[in-house]
Structure 1
Amino acid sequence: MIPLCIPEIRGNELKYVKDCIDTNWVSSVGSYVNLFEEKFSEYVGSKSAVVTMNGTAALQLALLTLGIGGGDEVIVPSLTFISPVNTIKYVGAEPVFVDVCRDTFVMDASKIEELITSKTKAIMPVHIYGHPVDMVKVMQIAKKHNLFVIEDATESLGSTCNGKMAGTIGDIGCFSFNGNKLITTGAGGMLVTNNLEHGKRAKFLSTQAKVVTENKAFYHSEIGYNMRMPNLLAAFGVAQLENVKDYLKTKRENALYYNQLLGEIKGITLPAERENVENCYWLYSILVEDEYGITRDELIQKLNAGKIEARPFFMPIHDMPPYKGSRHGDLTVTNELYARGINLPSSVGLTKEEISKVCETIKNSVD
């Protein structure tokens, strides 16, 4: 089976993890925790970084840091993994679903303003599958209406918009290091910001809002959260980060090869890369149009039969039981993309031969 997206482990992971074990620094306190934050912040170009137990925790922490809660609304796409939407509910706020762009699959910034009310507190762009949202437009709208912007960059590490890393353009950005992401710690996440006060506040909340007194007692002035990553996983992350540029280069090369092989197949729409954007192509994603000859699900079945793992786009959140009553705009494109979208194998370790096999299967499935 050619897997959809698996980790690439080729560097100092074992060496650094062994160092944690040898020195007994395996929990949430240790040198690798701080080092991972510092190195990650340096890579993406943020002033502050706070490591978390997973990407979901980073998103929840971002909302808490900005004081978003009961009575507030957050504008978010429905075409996304459910995590960002759930975190909005975790803090007592309500999601408001906006449609997406057909070419990039991400939040359509031109549809945001029509959804803004007096309750709107933030916009949460989700850079799904790697392509950034139009952050220039998002930030213009946010400034006009005095809204916060929390970037869900969990799938877009390494992507850029006008030369800036995805996740560093809004007030706060959040990343995931799940096993299928560009770099992994097994489980883990990171919150980044260029506002030092937000960074300080996020770290405080993520470590149980703990203050250590002169006699080493713990004092808590408010409710905090246990969101910190263990030193063991941070050590793994430091090692992964050392190879992130190579991983990103490979992802983009593989996407170009996919484009080359799939570009002339009638009825297959390739992923876009808009002007002034660099897409990390976390997952290489295509649309199956009516002209192709068989449906999206029929193609997935043929790929799976050929021992190729493929997956449909995320199912729209607004159609799921917990969110059916949520406010939303016209979601025509969201629904269409779900019906047509497929994610193809996208591991860093994917070979050219494997890409060729995937593309040949797609080509031959309608011959």
Structure 2
Amino acid sequence: MDFIDLKTQQQRIFPELDRRIKAVLAHGQYIMGPEIGALEEELAAYVGVRHCISVASGTDALLIALMALEIGPGDEVITSPFTFIATGETIALLGAVPVFVDIDPVSYNLDPAKMEQAITPRTRAILPVSLYGQCADFDRINEVAKRHGLPVVEDACQSFGATYQGRPSCALSSIGCTSFFPSKPLGGYGDGGACFTDNDQLATRMRQIRVHGQDRRYHHPKLGINGRLDTLQAAILLAKLKVFPDEVKARGRIGTRYSELLKDVCQVPEVAHGSTSVYAQYTVQVEKRDEVQKRLSEVGIPTAVHYPVPLHLQPVFGELGLGCGSFPVSEAASNRVMSLPMHPYLEEETLVRIAAALQEVLR
């Protein structure tokens, strides 16, 4: 059993995939070819914003967004400790300080009620994570940010395709950042990502930053990085976009079905009223996780843990002096969360088998 099945999708879209890849091989513009502009146009339309800037990875998307906001040494950026390292890493790479705020125990996302007390005169931005495929509470986050004059960057690397109060992920803040890593809801066949914004000035800055800070050939008004998306990845993503709306619906249906089967034996995901989730991971909470994973593995069911160690307890952030007990909700979740196989081609028979096996282990 695959934890994520990419082969079935490939079989479904292979003629379109083959056609688009062959077109790139024919024109030979492997860097910033015409597929880049076509993809950015389609993605911007999907999200409903004026600008999409495709980039080399989700990590680069976060880094470029923060660079466009001119985050630098001594600045503070508020974010979640319960996320992948890239969220805190990009802040630190710019010489800024990640200021962690604990998560909501239900959504696993940044808790807006705890956010304001973390704001200081050095705070320059807020970077909420839309974890496991569900958007953070952006109305409340944006309200606090507006009151303090702070930009908000959505780390939407797991939530592209989800909605919050009827509005798409990546269109909820100053800049939205997503990832096209192969396992993501919309994934390529390698690294990739994108930044989204309605702000013309920020869009111009991000386009310059992704090509070494240049505004025209060999003219560099600012420091940048080599952050371009490959043309081949853009071609692959254009093919995948054709079926993405159907896959988003399937993810919602499968996530709901999982919860129906498992709600009586473990803590299942809860989607906020008025929002949708793309279930980038279908994540439950269990006691004695290692034992549960071992027993599921013995019957051929793969599982994963996202994430076993919160960022404030990672050695690289040890100098922040935040020990165990600093963020109890995040720490409790890190000891209990477990993700089950999840993808839009998960068949009912397989899903029922997974749920039955977990029920057996937990009872």
Give, in whole Å, the separation in 1 of the partners of 2:295 and 2:241. 36
Aligned counterpart, 2:28: 24
What is aligned with 1:189? 193
Gaps of 5+ in 2: none
Counterpart selection for 1:342 from 312, 322, 338: 338
Three-state SS of the structure 2 residue aligned to 1:70 is coil
Residue of structure 1 equivalent to 2:87: 84
Cross-structure match for 1:165: 168
Residue 233 of structure 2 is matched in structure 1 by 233
Deviations 1:315-354 (A, max 9, x none): 2011111112327694111011111111111122211111
Q: Which residue of 1 aligns with 2:103?
A: 100
Query: d(CA) in 2 for partners of 1:234 and 1:248?
Result: 20
Question: Residue 210 of structure 1: CA displacement?
Answer: 2.2
Post-superposition offset of 1:207:
1.2
The letter of the residue matching 2:177 is: C
Name the counterpart of 2:222: 222
| Structure with greater contact order relative to length (CA < 8 Å, sep ≥ 6) | 1
CA apart distance, 1:6:
4.2
String of CA shifts for 1:97-122, please: whole Å, max 9, x gaps: 11011111111111101111111111
CA contact (8 A) 1:107 1:125 kept: yes
Q: Which residue of 1 aligns with 2:357?
A: 361
The Cα offsets for residues 281-329 of structure 1, whole Å up to 9 and x where unpaired, read as 111111115xxxxx12211111111211111231201111111232769
Q: Distance in 2 between matches of 1:4 and 1:235?
A: 22
Q: Which amino acid aligns with 1:40?
A: L
State the one-letter code of the partner of 2:123: T
How many Å separate the matches in 2 of 1:170 and 1:44? 12
The residue correspondences of 1:121-270 to structure 2 (distance < 5 A) are: 121-186=124-189, 187-212=191-216, 218-265=218-265, 268-270=266-268
Deviations 1:210-236 (A, max 9, x none): 244xxxx62223322211111111111
TM-score by length of 1: 0.93
User: d(CA) in 1 for partners of 2:342 and 2:297?
Assistant: 15
Looking at structure 2, the residues matched to 196 and 326 of structure 1 have their Cα atoms a distance apart, in angstroms, of 36
- Tell me the C-alpha RMSD between the 2 structures: 1.5
Matched residue, 1:37: 40
Partners of 2:157 and 2:362 lie apart in 1 by: 35
Unaligned regions of 5+ residues in structure 1, if any?
290-294
Tell me the CA shift for residue 209 of structure 1. Answer: 2.2
Q: CA deviation at 1:169?
A: 1.1
Alignment TM-score, normalising by the size of structure 2: 0.94
Q: Kindly provide the amino acid, as one letter, of the partner of residue 39 in structure 1.
A: E
Per the alignment, residue 292 of structure 1 pairs with none
**1:307 to 2:303 alignment:** no
Do the aligned partners of residues 5 and 116 (structure 1) sit closer, same or farther apart at CA in structure 2, a change above 3 Å counting?
farther
In the alignment, residue 275 of structure 1 is paired with which amino acid?
H
Using the TM superposition, name which of 8-17 and 51-60 deviates more.
8-17
Q: Percent identity between the aligned chains?
A: 30
Equivalences, count: 355
